[in-house]
Chains A and B, each alone.
Chain A
């Protein structure tokens, strides 16, 4: 910020701003510091990294991390497969359906996960009967849970390109609809797709409600379980989760920026 002579009320504004940032910054950083302190406690007031190395020595925890990562990838893929062709097609050929699809995609915001899981329980009795009771079957619910976030990201991506003209140009050169989708739509909105996928990954890695109440051992369920006997370990994993999600979202803010930059170039 440039330091120039400012009228007194601007200085007052700046002071207030700094105070707000310091106070709220302290409020939010304190728990992180506390987690760091708590997870490095040793015996008799010493420091130790046992909680952190313990993450890799607990086979159940490692399993649940792998499960959650697999779920994150599968859910993102399923979400993309479901949404991208449908949303592109609706913009091209069925604008009438747009409201309906938007409503359906945003519906999970109005149905709390804890309510959705009540209705999921009987449904999952069937899913597990047909597909076995692997935790990976959670993919089906998670693809639904990420719909609102993914819908907005992809919708913004589609709105930023002239889809109709691009599609008509490709069609007049003899491209099939599949080619239009795969070689025109997807490359043009790839930053939106990356954004939607990163959001989905973060959401799935953090999901607890549905996994725990359908009795699947995902990362968050396991963290909660471990907390009952080894608080240090749970706190270490929790801190790692928060930091990992932060890095994901921080990178995401640069993905969004690059899109803006390329639009200007074009």
Chain B
């Protein structure tokens, strides 16, 4: 699960070196305090990560090989990667556009207003903790027996599933993903909108600018970088999402996270044990590139705000 990097630029007070301490013994003791944390993170975060990344380059006997990676470049695995990327890109775009609109509608209200509180809390729930419940919300709405399905059938005689069982395929995933992508956009983008000062608007207006000139020459350019950053974050978020898709699609593995599930639940051919790790490496690379670019943009934005 990916989450927004919101406000971490506030620090910077603890820059001075430790006052009046001996450089040798005191420092060694000082380091000891940090050891438990580093050891814990080493065992439960770094070790499993290294295991996956290294395993991607090993055959079933542990010898070095590139065959796992070359296998990724063809057939079902390559298809899964493209589908994952397509799904993530489309839902990132939809989420970014509608999320930005929603943020704009909320941002103009009072900062401590009830509307804003409700929207932000609801967005937090859906964006970060939705997972399985979201899949069931989706089924209750447009599933075979869903509320909307039945309503359309009874009132207009429209069958939502005349074409295919689309809700368990890519179109269905796209739709259900917007239910956490739009909220994530609200969380990420709201602070950027709050950064727009009302004085800029007033200055633009007093110079004869219209709403269009304001957004074209002031608001738009300022919000461009945060918007681009949010787009990348949303992409990474959709790409690494697993729970919703897993609860919805129980057969077949259209996207990479579900392919990895296949490897963990035993649908493995002999000699391909480490292919799952190679898929993991592929995911880390894609998410890493998106998050790296996001961090770069974020740094640029915070520099001149």
Contact = CB atoms under 8 A, between A and B. Distances in A.
A222 to B, nearest CB: 10
A34 B147 CA distance: 5
A28 B133 contact: no
Contact of A203 (B18, B128, B146): B128
A143 B41 CA distance: 9
Interface string A18-47: 001100100010111111011100000000
A147 B6 CA distance: 15
B246 A149 contact: no
Interface string A71-98: 0000000000011011001111111011
Interface string B4-32: 01111011111111110100000000110
A227 B134 CA distance: 13
Most buried by B among A20, A93, A162, A207: A93
Contacts of B239: 112
B207 interface: no
Interface residues of A, number: 99
Contacts of A212: 246
Given A31-B137, A208-B247, A38 B145 contact: yes
Interface in A210-266: 212-213, 220, 223-224, 227-228, 231, 234-235, 237-239, 241-242, 245-246, 249-250, 252-253, 257
A147 B14 CA distance: 21
Contacts, number: 285
A32 B133 CA distance: 11
A175 interface: no
A9 B33 contact: no
B102 interface: yes
B13 A162 contact: yes
B104 interface: yes
Interface string A139-174: 011011101110010011011101110001000000
A6 interface: no
Interface string A195-212: 000000011011111001
Given A93-B18, A118-B264, A235-B136, A37 B182 contact: no
Given A20-B104, A94-B34, A109 B3 contact: yes
A144 B44 contact: yes
Contact of A123 (B44, B138, B291): B44
Contacts of A205: 129
A49 interface: no
B298 to A, nearest CB: 12
B105 A20 contact: yes
A20 B107 CA distance: 13
B33 to A, nearest CB: 5
Contact of A223 (B15, B106, B133, B277): B133
Contacts of A228: 250
B130 A109 contact: no
A223 B129 contact: no
A122 interface: yes
B90 interface: no
A31 B3 contact: no
Nearest to B124: A249
Contacts of A59: none
Given A89-B30, A117-B264, A140-B44, A252 B121 contact: yes
A207 B34 CA distance: 28
Contact of A35 (B10, B49, B140, B263): B140
Interface stretch (A100-108, A128-136, A183-191): A100-108
A208 B117 contact: no
B117 A253 contact: yes
B2 A109 contact: yes
A186 to B, nearest CB: 16
A34 B148 contact: yes
29 contacts: A9-B210, A13-B211, A30-B147, A31-B141, A82-B36, A82-B40, A90-B14, A94-B34, A104-B38, A104-B46, A110-B291, A112-B287, A114-B280, A115-B49, A116-B48, A123-B48, A143-B44, A144-B41, A152-B7, A158-B11, A202-B125, A220-B243, A224-B135, A224-B247, A227-B247, A242-B125, A245-B124, A249-B124, A257-B112
Given A95-B17, A113-B1, 15 more contacts: A17-B105, A20-B104, A28-B182, A35-B137, A91-B13, A93-B21, A101-B37, A104-B41, A155-B8, A156-B8, A163-B13, A206-B133, A238-B136, A249-B120, A250-B121
